[in-house]
Structures are given as C-alpha cells and as structure tokens.
A and B are shown apart, each in its own frame.
Chain A
Amino acid sequence: MERTGFLPWRRKRKPDFVARTIAGVAEAIERSVYTEEYARTDGFLQRVDPRAKVVVFICAVLAVGLSRSLPVLLALYVATVLMALTSRLPLGFFVKRVLLGVPLFAGIVFIPALFLIHGKPLVQADLGVLHLAISDNGLISLAIFVTRVSASVSLAILLVVTTQWADLLKALRVIRVPSVFIVVLGMTYRYIFLLLQTVENLFLARSSRTVGRPTDAEQRRWIGSSMGTLMGKSFKTSNDVYQAMVARGFTGDVYTISDFKMRDEDWLFVSLSVVLLALALIFDLGLR
C-alpha cells in the first residue's frame, strides 16, 4: 500500500500473519494449478506413457545415487535440464525450483563434513584449541553431494510437473505400490485443496472483521481456535467422504481402473534411457 498524503508519518508496515497466510494459501493453490497446466502442455515428456516415465525416473535416480564422479553427475543434471526444455518447461521455473533451495539445504547438511574430510588444505583457520581446515577433497565431496541432490530433485520435479497427478498415481501401480496407498494419496491431494480453501476463508473472514492490528496474544489465541475449527471441519469431511464411498459399494478394498497404452515410442524411450544411464555408470566406474 502506498503512503497517502494524510498520513505522511506512518511507516509502511510488514503484513501481519493473517495477510501472509492468505497470500501463502492463495499462492499454494495457484502454484498447483499452474503445475497441472505444465502437465497438459504438448511437450516431449508429456507425451510419454506415465509408467515409462516412472520406470526411467527410478533408473535415473539410482544412477545418480550410485555415481561418484562430478562430471557424470553434472552430465546427468544437464540431461534433466535438456529434458525440461524439450518438455516446454520454462527454464527459470525449473532451475529456480531446484537451485534456490537444494544447494542451500544440502550445503548446510554437508558443512560439518566439509571440515572432517582429509586432503590438501585450501583454507585454514586457528581458533584457539580448534583448528579448522577445508581440503580439496572436502570441496569436491561437497560439489558431488550438492550436484547429486540437485539432479535427484530435478528428476522428481520433472516427473511430477510433466505428468498429471491422476496419471502419476495410476503409474505408481507399476512399481507395486499398494492400491490403498495410491487411493489415500489421491484423496489427500484432492481434499488438501478444500482444506486450503477453508483456511483461506477462515483467514479472510477474520481479516474482514478486524480493525487495527491485533496484539500477539490475540493472534495466538485466534490461531489456536482456527486450528480447532479446521480440525473439526476436516474430521466432518472425512466422515462424509467415507459415507459417500460406502454409498457406492466401498467395503474396505479399493479397486482402480487403468487405460494406459504403452506405444512403441514409449518402449524406445525406456530402452534408450536405460542404456544411456548404464553407459553413464560404466563411464563413472572408469573415472574412479
């Protein structure tokens, strides 16, 4: 909000938690909808059978996990980026999702190990009784770790973003994920939207009836009561959904239907990918 001429002395305040929550919930819903839009785009991976994608994803994650050389890991990461580009995913969207969080998180996890791996010291510091040194081997290990995590997360994003959620769930059956797990996962995703909308409405209703800035104590009290309300609503919804399932013959076992068809192109995609990943691993072994 811009400053007005009537209140020149007022400083721009940070939005309180209500405004932040409303914005966060709206953003979460919007992001999810946009993600589904990408899955409907006519790109390379979007045309591949979801089961083929799941198989290749598992093989690729295994290859990334087993690989120990930085060049091979970097090559695999570049390959995922190229796949994203051929699948018409915006580069900024894809890379930002990975690079903003993963290196930071992985780096923090790895920092203690950075000082424990022996090798040729590159940076040293004496802090009294504590001698800290970062070795060349430590830095290489950090780079391998961050690249491995980035490549794995990129693969997961690539799979999720280029596959409609419903298809992805059905495709999980190919790796023998139990039906009940798939159905529960699907229903969780389905009803999380309703709960997000409920949260948004709760916060909007509160915001519309609030004048001035509530105290921290008031805000804490309200959060507590909202959590209770949300829990009650979600409990009622789960009961209603269960009744709706029973009303259509549900007796505890879940049955699903699949109309996927593996085409020659899908088999080719799986075969080529597996061969290339195997070659990458063999090359990786040669570099050790």
Chain B
Amino acid sequence: MMATTVPAEAGETNITNEDAEHVFQLDAVSFSYHGRHEALIDVDLTIERGEQLVILGANGSGKSTLLKMLDGLYRPTSGTIRAFGQDITDVADDPVRARELHRRVGLVFQDADVQLFSPTVYDDVAFGPLQMGWDKERVTREVARALEQMNVTHLSDRAPYELSGGEKKRVAIATVLSMEPDVILLDEPTASLDPRSSAVLVDVIAGLRDLGKTVVVTTHQLEIVPLIATRVVVFGDQERRPVASGNATEILSNAELLIRTNLVHEHLHFHADANLMHSHLHGPEHHEG
C-alpha cells in the first residue's frame, strides 16, 4: 500500500478564550480594496455561539468580504475582529494559530468551482484534514462522516466538474465539515441553483444547527431566510454596514427597510382599474394602493 504522506501531527492549538461570550465580535471594522474601494465601513457586529445568522444584503453591500474577514483571509483596514475572544489579526499572523482558526471556521465560497480544486470529490473533502496534519485513520473517518452528512458518499470518486450545481454545493459544505468546524460561513449558498436544489440545500443548512454548529449565511434571497435564520442582520448597500437586526419575521415585514436596502423593488403595476405602487414581497399586506 502506498504510504500516506501527512505532516507531523499538529498539536491542537487552542485559540479559544473560553470566557469569550461571542464567537465573533467586530468593533468599528472597515475594509477597502487596494485602499480605494470601501467594501465595509465601521461595522459593529457580534455573532453568538450556536446561532444561525443570516446576513441579508444587496449586491455590493460587502457580505462576501465580511465572511472572508471572519475566516482571517482579509485583515481589517481599521477596527478589530475578535474570533473566539482572540484578535483575528494576531491569530492570522501566527501560521499554527491561523491553521487552527481555519479548522474552526469553515468558509463555503459562493462559487463551488473555486472550492473544489482537486481531481476527485474524495480528495477535495480530504484536503482540509490532511493540511491539519491528522493521521490517516482520522482523515478517513472524518471524510466518510462529512460525505455521509451531506449525502454525497456516492459521488466520492467523481470529478468535481461532472457534478450538478446542487451536488457541488453539498460537496463544498462537506469539504469544510470534514475539518470539524465550530462555525460554518456560507456565501450565497443558494445562488444560481434551481428551486429543488435550493430546497435541498436549505434543509442541509437547517440541519447544521442540529450538529451544534454556528452558521452564518449571506444571501439576498428572501424566501430562504425564515427557513434558516434565528437572527437576521441587514447590510445596506450604500452604508456598507448593518442597518437593521432582528428575527426573520420582523425583518421581512419591514417593507420600507427592504426597499431602502435594495432587497426588493417597487414599481407601478396596473391591477384592473387601480394603479398600485407595491413592492415585490409576498402577501397582500405589503400593497400600498
């Protein structure tokens, strides 16, 4: 049998301050690309353990940038981000602690093709555990578990480019689940999926709560919000910071907020003889005659 090549067993580096109340705490965080385009401006946000947070925002409101910052891939231009009670900039500067941060915080990218870079599904799901320096038995066990949790075991020998959009998304989630993360960040998970694949994925995301994971989902698709969110934070596309927070019912019933943040639009419709200005929300209560 060919020897498995893994790095020397990495010690379980503790980046946790167990006294920390929040998984993430952002204080006045700003970020700009190349010092010019401001993606986030003065963001204050806390994310609690075990919650399923949905970050709602229109295109360009900084949602994807925020997730990459929470995973330590981008550093704030100003302000501080604390992950598990530790300053994320300090953690990212230390390769060993950074690796542990990446293990504990799994990021599922919007474009699954970016995330699935290995020749087969199995190799992709095993990539993270192998980088952690786990032994072969543990890698094999965790990969099998993650594939089973996402119901993609039958795809393990397939090449990623052969998969459908929904299958790619489930495999992408498996690639982070195999690292036993505490937090899973999902960037627009249902974007460009057909309704059925979207529904399957919503069930998968809702199921992550049963696994005890803290889940942060960015989206602009309002219909999935009540199905997965225990809390919703709305990002303004002009402000590039949270402009509202609440439960799904509170947020989705606030038509003025949704229109102002470009999550719905209003326009003129002719309904029989009436000229109605209404937004694209479900239910008659949102019609303004």
Residues of A within 8 A of B (CB): 36, 51, 165-166, 169-170, 173-174, 179, 186-187, 189-191, 193-194, 237, 240-241, 243-251, 253, 255-258, 260-262
Contact A240 B111 (CB under 8 A): yes
Contact B175 A173 (CB under 8 A): no
Q: Which residues of A contact B130 (CB under 8 A)?
A: 255-257
Closest 9 CB pairs of A and B: A166-B119, A249-B131, A248-B128, A255-B130, A258-B2, A240-B114, A166-B120, A247-B107, A186-B119
Q: Which residues of B contact A258 (CB under 8 A)?
A: 1-4
Contact A257 B4 (CB under 8 A): yes
The distance from the CB of A241 to the nearest CB of chain B, in whole angstroms, is: 5
Within B110-125, the residues touching A (CB, 8 Å) are: 111, 113-115, 117-120, 123
Q: Which residues of B contact A250 (CB under 8 A)?
A: 127, 131
Q: Which residues of B contact A170 (CB under 8 A)?
A: 2
Q: How far is the CA of A237 from the CA of B106 in the complex (A)?
A: 20
Contact A190 B118 (CB under 8 A): yes
Q: How far is the CA of A198 from the CA of B212 in the complex (A)?
A: 40
Known contacts A165-B159, A190-B159, A248-B127; can you find 15 more A-B pairs with CB under 8 A? A173-B2, A174-B2, A190-B119, A190-B160, A237-B114, A240-B109, A240-B114, A241-B114, A241-B117, A246-B73, A247-B71, A248-B179, A249-B132, A256-B123, A258-B4
Q: How far is the CA of A189 from the CA of B132 in the complex (A)?
A: 25
Closest to A253 in B: B7
Q: How far is the CA of A154 from the CA of B117 in the complex (A)?
A: 30
Closest to B3 in A: A258
Q: How far is the CA of A150 from the CA of B222 in the complex (A)?
A: 61
Q: How far is the CA of A260 from the CA of B106 in the complex (A)?
A: 29
Binds A, one of B29-37, B95-103, B199-207: B95-103
Q: Which residues of A contact B127 (CB under 8 A)?
A: 245, 248, 250
The distance from the CB of A263 to the nearest CB of chain B, in whole angstroms, is: 11
Contact B4 A245 (CB under 8 A): no
Q: How far is the CA of A244 from the CA of B128 in the complex (A)?
A: 10
Interface size on B, residues (CB 8 A): 44
Within B154-198, the residues touching A (CB, 8 Å) are: 157, 159-161, 175-176, 179
Q: Which residues of B contact A256 (CB under 8 A)?
A: 5, 123, 130
Contact B123 A257 (CB under 8 A): yes
Q: Which residues of A contact B106 (CB under 8 A)?
A: 247-248
For the complex, is B139 an interface residue (Cβ under 8 Å from A)? yes
Kindly identify which residue among A187, A255, A260 contacts B117, using a CB–CB cutoff of 8 Å.
Answer: A187
Q: How far is the CA of A189 from the CA of B4 in the complex (A)?
A: 23
Contact A247 B117 (CB under 8 A): no
Contact A251 B139 (CB under 8 A): no
Kindly identify which residue among A51, A173, A237, A243 contacts B73, using a CB–CB cutoff of 8 Å.
Answer: A243
The distance from the CB of A39 to the nearest CB of chain B, in whole angstroms, is: 11
Q: How far is the CA of A108 from the CA of B15 in the complex (A)?
A: 65
Q: Which residues of B contact A260 (CB under 8 A)?
A: 1-2
Q: How far is the CA of A51 from the CA of B103 in the complex (A)?
A: 33
The distance from the CB of B143 to the nearest CB of chain A, in whole angstroms, is: 8
Kindly identify which residue among A36, A169, A246 contacts B102, using a CB–CB cutoff of 8 Å.
Answer: A246
